[in-house]
C-alpha cells in the first residue's frame, strides 16, 4: 500500500524514518484506553457542570427560577448572569474582542440578553453528571421573546458590505485590474450562483473543559482545544492574570476541524464556575449543545462570473459572497482568496455582503474559505469546459498559473501539473466519455469528475526543546496539539532522524503551555512549523556537542573546524573523513554530562537550505523567501453512480494526488487526505444543518439527523503524493495537508454528478431531490 513512499531529499536530516509509514506512536495507548482526553482526569473533589441553554433566539431573560433545581440532591451551585463572578475583560467590551482573541464578540451570562438559541443561560454544578443534568432540566427561565432573524436570506436581515471580513485579516473588497470591463468584452461569459448549507464540525470528542484553581490566581485547564497557547492567552486576558498563571493542557484530542481553534464561552463559564465554587469543575458539551457552542460553517451564497476566450482562457472573474454572520462579528470565510490565485486570469474582483442574524459567530471549518470557494471556481471551470468542448483537465492546463496571479509572486514550488497527470493516470481519465449523461452501468448513470485543490502555507512560527541523554534516548517537547492526525508520530520521526536515534528512543511531548510555544494545530501550520522547530532544536544540540568536541583534546575532532563536522546516526564526524569522529555518548561521558539541551525555532519562510545551522535563516534567504507565494496543490478525481429514478448518488471511486512539500509519514498523510476527502464528500452529498426560519433554532442538531458519510458511503480511496522539494517554506520543507484534503472535493463530486446526469447542482448538499 505504501510503495509510493516519498523520496527523501539529500539534505538534513539524513534519510531515516521520516516519510516512512510508521504506525502511530500513541496508537496503543488509544486503543488500550490509556490516552487521557480532557474530560478524563479523575481529580479529587471533581464536580460536574451542565449547561442550561436558551430556547429562544432573541429577547431577554425576565426571571430564572432555580428553586426546584437547588433542592435536588447533589446540587452544589447554579450560576446565572446574576451570580457569576465578573471577568477582568470580556469579549463584549468594544475593544475587548481583539485583545482577547476570542472568536465571538459576545459572552453569554454577562447580562439578561439572549442573542441566539442555544446560548447558555445557566450552569448547574453537582456531584455527578446525572444529577447536574437532571437539575439543569428543572431550572425555569422566563423570557421576553422577540422575533429573531434566522439568516441573511430573511427579508428583514439588513445586509451590509464589511470592510474587513474576519478580525481585520482579509479585505471585504478585492480588485485586480478592471474585471467589469474585461467581462463586458469577453467572447464567452458565464455566471452561476452557488449555495452552501450550514455545516457543523462534529468532532467525535465534543468540547470539554476541566478547570482547577489553586488559590485565587492559579488556574489549570484540561481543554479540548487545537491550541493550548491560544486558549491560555484568551483565558489570561479575560481573567486578568499573567499568562504563566494559566496552564492549559491538551494531551489528546478527538478531532476538531476548526471548531476547537478558539476559546469559546463554555470554557470561560466553566473556569468561572470552578473559581466561584472553589472546586474543580468538568463540563462536556452534549452533542446537541455542540451545534450551538463552537461555531459552524455559515450558510452562504456565492455568485461567480467568468469571462473567457473561445479557447477557454480566462479574462475576468467576479466573485460575490453573501452570508449570515452573528449580531456582533464580521466573520465569514474568505472564499475569494482561492478564486483569485488558482488560475491565470488578468482581472479579478470580489466583494462580500453579510447579514446579521440571531446565530452564534461562525468559525473556521476545515479549509475555511478554500472549501466553498473551490466549489464555485471548480464547478465553473467544469461548466466552461463543457460549454467550449474542452476536456476539464485541458482547460485547467490552459489557465495554469505559472506565478501567483493574486500577488504576482513566483511560487515557492508548485507540483500541480504532476498531480493532474498522475491523478488522471491512476483514475483512467483518458477513457472518459466527453459527453455528459451518456455513460451507464445497467440502469445506473455513471459520472466522472475532477477538481483542483490548493491551500496556502500560512505564516507561523513555533519553538521546540530537545533533551538528549548520554544513554542514547531523548525527550523532545513542543506545546503543539495532536488533533488525532499524527503529530506525536511525525514529530517522533523528525526527532529520530534529526538526532540520529531510532524512533523508539524518542519521547515526544506536546499539548501543555509549560512546553515551548507552538502554534494552533490549524490552518495546516502544525506539521511544518513544529517539525522545523524540532529539527532546529536538534541542530542546536549538535552545534553544542560539536563545540565541546573541538575543544576536547581527547576527542578525535579536537581542533576541527565546526563547519567540517557533521552528524551521522548519532556520531559526530568529519564531513570529508567519516572515520575521524566519535559517538555523542562517548563525548558526553568524558565530559561527565548526563544530558544536553537545545532549543530551536521553526519559522515560516526560513527555508530548508538555510535551516542547516541553528543560525536563523540569513537575510538574503528571507528576502528570497518573501518574494514567493507558498501553496500546496492537488487534484481529486471522482466516479459517482446515480440512480436515475431515486436520485441517489454513490461515490464509487476516488483518487487524490497532492504536492505538499515533504511528506513526514506516508501512512498518517494518506489517512489525513482520506479523512479530508470524506469530510468533503459529506459536505457535497449529505451535511446540512437546518435552521428554522421562524425560530432560528436548529432542527437536526444531532448525529441521527445531521448526516455524515459512514463506511458504506465511501469506496476504496487512492491517495498519492508528488515528491516535492520546496526550498523556501520552512526548515523541513513541509507544507501541511490538513486543510487541502478538503479543498475541491465537493466540486469533484458535483462535476461527476453533472457528467453522470447532465444536471448541474450548485446547491450543497446534492441530495436526491435536487437531482430528480
Ligand atoms: Mo483548521 S479549519 O484552522 O482547524
Structure confidence at residue 682 (pLDDT): 98
Closest to 252 in 3D by CA, of 295, 222, 280: 222
**At which of 543, 568, 603 does a domain end?**
603
Please state the atom number of ligand 1 nearest to the C-alpha of residue 261: 4
If you take atom 3 of ligand 1, which residue's CA is the nearest one?
522
Write the CB contacts of 31 (distance below 8 Å, at least 6 apart in sequence): none
If asked whether residues 528 and 481 sit together in one domain, one would say yes
**Tally of helices (H runs) and strands (E runs) in the chain:** 19, 31
| Of 569, 603, 637, the domain-final residue | 603
User: How far out from the chain centre does Cα 462 lie?
Assistant: 17
User: Residues 475, 499: one domain?
Assistant: yes
d(CA 757, CA 668): 36
Q: Is 367 contained in some domain?
A: no
The pTM of the full predicted model, rounded to 2 decimals, is: 0.95
Query: In terms of domains, do 471 and 596 share one?
Result: yes
Residue 200 lies in a domain: no
Q: Where are the alpha helices (DSSP H) in 595-636?
A: 619-626
Q: What is the DSSP letter of 504?
A: G
Within this chain, do residues 654 and 738 fall inside the same structural domain, yes or no? yes
Q: How many domains does the chain have?
A: 2
Q: Are residues 594 and 664 in the same domain?
A: no
Query: Does the residue 376 lie in any domain?
Result: no
Same domain, 652 and 740: yes
Residue 503 structural domain: 27-34+460-603
Q: Is residue 299 part of a domain?
A: no
Could you tell me if residue 708 is left (phi over 0), alpha (psi between -120 and 50 degrees) or otherwise beta? beta
Report the separation in Å between the CA atom of 298 and the middle of ligand 1, taken as the mean of its atom positions.
14
Predicted ipTM of the assembly: 0.98
Probe ligand 1: pick from 169, 203, 368, max atoms within 8 Å of CB?
368
Residue ranges in the chain whose pLDDT is less than 70: 1-14, 94-101, 167-170, 606-625
Contact 218, 417 (CB under 8 A): no
pLDDT in tens, 232-250: 999 999 999 999 999 999 9
- Residue 632, in any domain of the structure: yes
CB of 676 shorter than 6 A to ligand 1:
no
If asked whether residues 550 and 590 sit together in one domain, one would say: yes
Q: Best substitution site from 522, 526, 528 to test ligand 1's pocket, by max atoms within 8 Å of Cβ?
A: 522
Counting ligand 1 atoms within 8 A of each CB, the residue from 169, 529, 738, 741 with the most, and so the one to mutate, is: 738
In a domain? residue 749: yes
User: Distance (Å, rounded) from C-alpha 366 to C-alpha 270?
Assistant: 27
In this structure, the answer to whether residues 444 and 521 fall within a common structural domain is no
Q: Return the C-alpha cell found at 709.
A: 458519510
Q: Tell whether 489 and 452 lie within a shared domain.
A: no
One domain, residues 693 and 646: yes
* pLDDT the model gives residue 727: 84
Decide whether any atom of ligand 1 lies within 6 Å of the 368 Cβ: yes
Residue pair 126/74 in contact by the 8 Å Cβ criterion: yes
Alpha-carbon distance values, 590 to 133, 366, 439, 471, 586 (Å): 63, 52, 75, 13, 6
Indicate if 556 and 510 belong to the same structural domain.
yes
Three cell numbers, residue 663: 511528506
Gyration radius from the chain CA atoms: 27
3-state secondary structure of 379: helix
Residue 149 dihedral angles phi and psi, to the nearest 5° = -105, 130
Q: Is the Cβ–Cβ distance between 177 and 347 less than 8 Å? A: yes
Residue position matching grid coordinates 437546518: 690
Ligand 1 mean position, distance from CA 522 (Å): 4
Would you say residue 569 lies in a domain?
yes
Q: What is the pLDDT of residue 169?
A: 64
Does residue 295 have its Cβ closer than 6 Å to ligand 1?
Answer: no
Q: Is 558 helix (H, G, I), strand (E, B) or coil?
A: coil
| Residue 239 to residue 454: CA distance in whole angstroms | 39
Which of the residues are catalytic?
739
- Within-domain flag for 747: yes
The residue contributing the CA closest to ligand 1 atom 4 is: 258
What is the Å distance from ligand 1's center to 759 Cα?
32
If asked whether residues 638 and 566 sit together in one domain, one would say no
Task: Give the residue from 553, 507, 532 showing the smallest Cα distance to 731.
Answer: 532
Question: What is the Cα–Cα distance from 430 to 505, expressed in whole angstroms?
Answer: 48
Can you give the CATH number for the domain in which 534 is found? 3.30.365.10
All cell numbers assigned to 660: 505538499
Amino acid at each position: 500500500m505504501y510503495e509510493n513512499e516519498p523520496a527523501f531529499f539529500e539534505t538534513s536530516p539524513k534519510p531515516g524514518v521520516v516519510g516512512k509509514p510508521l504506525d502511530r506512536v500513541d496508537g496503543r495507548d488509544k486503543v488500550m484506553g490509556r490516552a487521557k482526553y480532557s474530560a478524563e482526569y479523575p481529580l479529587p473533589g471533581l464536580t460536574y457542570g451542565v449547561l442550561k441553554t436558551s430556547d429562544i433566539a432573541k429577547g431577554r431573560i425576565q426571571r430564572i427560577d432555580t428553586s426546584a433545581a437547588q433542592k435536588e440532591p447533589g446540587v452544589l451551585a447554579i450560576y446565572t448572569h446574576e451570580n457569576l463572578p465578573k471577568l477582568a475583560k470580556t469579549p463584549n467590551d468594544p475593544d475587548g474582542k481583539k485583545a482577547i482573541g476570542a472568536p465571538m464578540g459576545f459572552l453569554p451570562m454577562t447580562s439578561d440578553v439572549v442573542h441566539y438559541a442555544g446560548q447558555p443561560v445557566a450552569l448547574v454544578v453537582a456531584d455527578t453528571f446525572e444529577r447536574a443534568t437532571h437539575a439543569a432540566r428543572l431550572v425555569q427561565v422566563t423570557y421576553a421573546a422577540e422575533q429573531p432573524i434566522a439568516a441573511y436570506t430573511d427579508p428583514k436581515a439588513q445586509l451590509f458590505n464589511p470592510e474587513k471580513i474576519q478580525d481585520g485579516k482579509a479585505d471585504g473588497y478585492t480588485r485586480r485590474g478592471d474585471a467589469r470591463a474585461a467581462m463586458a468584452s469577453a467572447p464567452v461569459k458565464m455566471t452561476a450562483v452557488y449555495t452552501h448549507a450550514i455545516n457543523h464540525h462534529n468532532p467525535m470528542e465534543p468540547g470539554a473543559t476541566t478547570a482547577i484553581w489553586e488559590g485565587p490566581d492559579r488556574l489549570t485547564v484540561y481543554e479540548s482545544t487545537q491550541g493550548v497557547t491560544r486558549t491560555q492567552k484568551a483565558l489570561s486576558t479575560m481573567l486578568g492574570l499573567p499568562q504563566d498563571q494559566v496552564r492549559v493542557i491538551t494531551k489528546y484530542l478527538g478531532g476538531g476541524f476548526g471548531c476547537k481553534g478558539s476559546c469559546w464561552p463554555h470554557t470561560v463559564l466553566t473556569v468561572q464556575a470552578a473559581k466561584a465554587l472553589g472546586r474543580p469543575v468538568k463540563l462536556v458539551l452534549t452533542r446537541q449543545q455542540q451545534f450551538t457552542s463552537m461555531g459552524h460553517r455559515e450558510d452562504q451564497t456565492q455568485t461567480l462570473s467568468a469571462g473567457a476566450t473561445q479557447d477557454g482562457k480566462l479574462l475576468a472573474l467576479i466573485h460575490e459572497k453573501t452570508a449570515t454572520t452573528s449580531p456582533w462579528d464580521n466573520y465569514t470565510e474568505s472564499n475569494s482568496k482561492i478564486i483569485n490565485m488558482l488560475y491565470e486570469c488578468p482581472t479579478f474582483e470580489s466583494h462580500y455582503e453579510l447579514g446579521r442574524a440571531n446565530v452564534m459567530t461562525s468559525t473556521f471549518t476545515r479549509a475555511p474559505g478554500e472549501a466553498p470557494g473551490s466549489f464555485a471556481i471548480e464547478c465553473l471551470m467544469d461548466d466552461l469546459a463543457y460549454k467550449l468542448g474542452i476536456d476539464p483537465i485541458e482547460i485547467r492546463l490552459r489557465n495554469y498559473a505559472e506565478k501567483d496571479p493574486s500577488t504576482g509572486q513566483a511560487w515557492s514550488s508548485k507540483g500541480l501539473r504532476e498531480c493532474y497527470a498522475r491523478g488522471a493516470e491512476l483514475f483512467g481519465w483518458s477513457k472518459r466519455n466527453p459527453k455528459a449523461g451518456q455513460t451507464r452501468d445497467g440502469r445506473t448513470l455513471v459520472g466522472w469528475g475532477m477538481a483542483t485543490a490548493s491551500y496556502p502555507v500560512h505564516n507561523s512560527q513555533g519553538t521546540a526543546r530537545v533533551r538528549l541523554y548520554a544513554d542514547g534516548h531523548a525527550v523532545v517537547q513542543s506545546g503543539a496539539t495532536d488533533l488525532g492526525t499524527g503529530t506525536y508520530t511525525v514529530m517522533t520521526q523528525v526527532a529520530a532522524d534529526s538526532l540520529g536515534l531510532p524512533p523508539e528512543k524518542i519521547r515526544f511531548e506536546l499539548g501543555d503551555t509549560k512546553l515551548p510555544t507552538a502554534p494552533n494545530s490549524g490552518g495546516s501550520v502544525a506539521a511544518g512549523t513544529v517539525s522545523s522547530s524540532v529539527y532546529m532544536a536538534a541542530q542546536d544540540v549538535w552545534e553544542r556537542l560539536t563545540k565541546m568536541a573541538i575543544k576536547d583534546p581527547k576527542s578525535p575532532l579536537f581542533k576541527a573546524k565546526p563547519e567540517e563536522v557533521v552528524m551521522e546516526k548519532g556520531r559526530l564526524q568529519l564531513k570529508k573523513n567519516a572515520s575521524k569522529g566519535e559517538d555523542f555518548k562517548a563525548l558526553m561521558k568524558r565530559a561527565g554530562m548526563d544530558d544536553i539541551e537545545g532549543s530551536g525555532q521553526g519559522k515560516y519562510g526560513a527555508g530548508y537550505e538555510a535551516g542547516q545551522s541553528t543560525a536563523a535563516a540569513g537575510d538574503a534567504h528571507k528576502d528570497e523567501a518573501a518574494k514567493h507565494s507558498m501553496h500546496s496543490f492537488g487534484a481529486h478525481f471522482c466516479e459517482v453512480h446515480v440512480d436515475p429514478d431515486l436520485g441517489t448518488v454513490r461515490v464509487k471511486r476516488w483518487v487524490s494526488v497532492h504536492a505538499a512539500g515533504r511528506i513526514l509519514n506516508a501512512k498518517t498523510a494518506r489517512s489525513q487526505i482520506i479523512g479530508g476527502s470524506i469530510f468533503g464528500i459529506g459536505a457535497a452529498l449529505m451535511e446540512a444543518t437546518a435552521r428554522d426560519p421562524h425560530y432560528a433554532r436548529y432542527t437536526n442538531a444531532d448525529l441521527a439527523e445531521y448526516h455524515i458519510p459512514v463506511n458504506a458511503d465511501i469506496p476504496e480511496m487512492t491517495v498519492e503524493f508528488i515528491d516535492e522539494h520546496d526550498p523556501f517554506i520552512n526548515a523541513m520543507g513541509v507544507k501541511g495537508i490538513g486543510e487541502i484534503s478538503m479543498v475541491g472535493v465537493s466540486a469533484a463530486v458535483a462535476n461527476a454528478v453533472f457528467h453522470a446526469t447532465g444536471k448541474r447542482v450548485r446547491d450543497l448538499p446534492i441530495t436526491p431531490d435536487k437531482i430528480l
